[in-house]
Structure 1
């Protein structure tokens, strides 16, 4: 239920935007334009906006490109071959090939194929109506995504960071519970849950790309782009943190029962630190708190014993080091801190999103 509430809370605002935008598209196509049932206008708006924040503008353009190319191909096929299954197959094939040449994205190909089918099935007028609906729906989607509710690039990246950190915290927490269990109580389902974090890391990579694209298309001041660049470099360390967490989970679960239970509190402490960091990754106070917690976990980790125990201890230090680097600590300082048992390290102020202000005119 906690995951459901978080999922609904994270997506409620974009969903409300889609509902209002769809209603507006229908109203424009139905009342302001002499048009028959405006079925495809709200559909085009929904398809365009039903993508992660940061990619809605690009998604809208892809919908329009797909619809227009599909309608053109479908009308040509209808004029040459008329109705029939062969015409539908030929139109869809040609539309998909055109979409591959123009863009190659799945949504572009799907819209092109649908537009071609509609033209062959319903004739020329249906194709023209489809294009008009797509233009209305796309225009509404662009107004919502680019003018009324533009995305703040740094906030977009921070949200992906938070989700990834929360997923890593859950993975370590599940591993700690598995390590606390006896041999007859283990479920051996930890890896099923941990594998979901790979998808979060992929989403983080897309968020880095989308935030950079949004910043490049928006009138930001130079300082704002520099802050985004700094945070993008920082976010790259989450890939390393994810790999070090996976290595720690694998090695920790391979320990015998006694040593697993010795390391369980350490993984639980690391999980708590990542969970705290996920709450506000852009806060310096939160970053300082998280670095203290991971350094505490390192000092409390067993550092002697058989070779597997020593290896797990080294993995704990690697996770702690990656957390420190993500928090803004330089590599050398982080390396010394985890090996020398430091209590605290200096954490710099994280980049902050600048307000978008109009450029001042220079006086002559």
Structure 2
């Protein structure tokens, strides 16, 4: 009994130690990921103070660094448009808050009236929820922290405007991470979900495992989150490459990802249809010939190759070869005779092949011609040169 308690205590200590190491590792990872934002925040606050103090000549421009940090802080992971909206909200809230408090004085009901007026003014001017929320918060700040005493403090509005502009400029132009690095990291899981789903369907059909086929279908259904993150990262990367002069060279490589993104999304949807049919085929005890399984494996390899070729900035020739090989093998299997569900799978392989060719930059007309030609013959993927 005592020995059991000792083992239990040792296990608990080991588990706590493991969790502590994992927690520390996660904290270090998050710390590294925040280094860029910390540098941007510090730089924006310093520049905002210098601009308001040295260039504009305000002795205590504390609203300038506040506005700069607010714009940067709430805009992390968002588009530049949101940052500009925050800038407008901060400046507008300070200006309207100063006006209202100057005419009505300070107190509980005055703060309420000030916030209500600022919200209504923003709504009338067509402000977004971001602008409205930030303007109301800024009105509360000037009403409670430093209400005007001897006049309307236009300088605080100017400070907020200057600080917000500095924050937007730092966000858009300075210390920007390479957009290609961001998009490559986001593309790998998005493309990987598609490649893994096709590979798992092939393995499930080979083994006749209904459980594995259902797991592949579930994984493909859950892949939307990865694709959404990829599309969001792509939008942010395009914005960075457009606005930051030091990143202009990334615009051409990013265009290849932009062109590929919608077709990968279509391929993922078609892969889900394929996976559902694989489940039905196994449930019905339908035979899946080796050629059909090989076709799925070739399609999976084509997706994996595409993400590598895009990352390397190469013309995706190998991806096209593997894609057409997949379509050709499926076409041959279809001509030899397939059951109903297996025939649907072959048709979906052809559709996914169309999506992949389009993702490599092949035109619609050329894609149709290549797919028709490949579906009418047998082709085996050649080994890449080493």
TM-score by length of 1: 0.68
TM-score (norm 2): 0.65
Match of 2:369 among 324, 330, 333: 333
Pairing partner for 2:300 from 271, 289, 313:
271
Could you say if the C-alpha distance between residues 310 and 189 of structure 1 is closer, same or farther in structure 2, counting changes exceeding 3 Å?
closer
Query: Deviation digits for residues 79-118 of structure 1, max 9, x if unmatched?
Result: 4555566555554444445445556544333322321232
By percentage of residues, which structure has more helix?
Answer: 2
Q: 282, 288, 294: which one pairs with 1:256?
A: 282
**Could you tell me which residue of structure 2 aligns to residue 118 of structure 1?**
141
| Structure 2 counterparts to residues 168-247 of structure 1, below 5 A | 168-173=194-199, 175-176=201-202, 180=207, 182-183=209-210, 185-186=211-212, 188=214, 190=216, 192-203=218-229, 232-247=258-273
**Would you say how many aligned residue pairs link Structure 1 and Structure 2?**
333
Deviation of residue 315 (structure 1)? 0.4
8 Å CA contact retained: 1:144, 1:150 = no
Report deviation, 1:306: 1.9
Q: Say if 1:226 and 1:85 are closer, same or farther in 2 by CA, change over 3 A.
A: same
Give the equivalent residue in structure 1 for 2:85: 62
Paired residues for 1:296-307 under 5 Å: 296-301=325-330, 302-303=333-334, 304-307=337-340
- With over 3 angstroms needed to count, the CA separation of the structure-2 counterparts of 1:225 and 1:339, relative to structure 1, is same
Residue equivalent to 2:176: 149
Unaligned runs of 5+ in 2: 1-25, 54-59, 382-386
List runs of 5+ in structure 1 lacking aligned partners: 1-6, 346-364
Aligned to 1:19: 38
Q: 1:236 to 1:36 in 2, by over 3 A?
A: closer
RMSD (Å) for aligned C-alpha atoms: 4.7
Give the Å deviation of 1:336: 1.9
d(CA) in 2 for partners of 1:114, 1:61: 16
> Per the alignment, do residues 270 and 37 of structure 1 end up closer, same or farther by CA in structure 2, a change over 3 Å counting?
same
Q: How far apart are residue 194 of structure 1 and its match?
A: 2.8
Conserved in 1, the CA contact under 8 Å of 2:354 and 2:371?
yes
Kept in 1: contact 2:241–2:251 (CA 8 A) = yes
SS in 1 for 2:338: coil
User: What secondary structure, in the 3-state scheme, does the structure 2 residue paired with 1:50 have?
Assistant: coil
| 1:321 and 2:354 aligned | yes
In structure 2, the partner of 1:165 is: 191
SS in 2 for 1:149: coil
Change (3 A) 1:182 1:160: closer
- Asked if structure 1 preserves the Cα contact closer than 8 Å seen for 2:68 and 2:166, the reply is no
CA contact (8 A) 1:215 1:225 kept: yes
Contact 2:198 2:299 in 1 (8 A): yes
1:47 alignment counterpart:
73
- 3-state DSSP of counterpart to 1:255: helix
Counterparts in 2 of 1:30 and 1:50: CA distance versus 1, 3 Å: same
Residue 159 of structure 2, aligned match among 132, 142, 149: 132
CA shift, 1:247, in A, is: 2.2
Match runs of 1:272-287 below 5 Å: 272-281=301-310, 283=312, 287=316
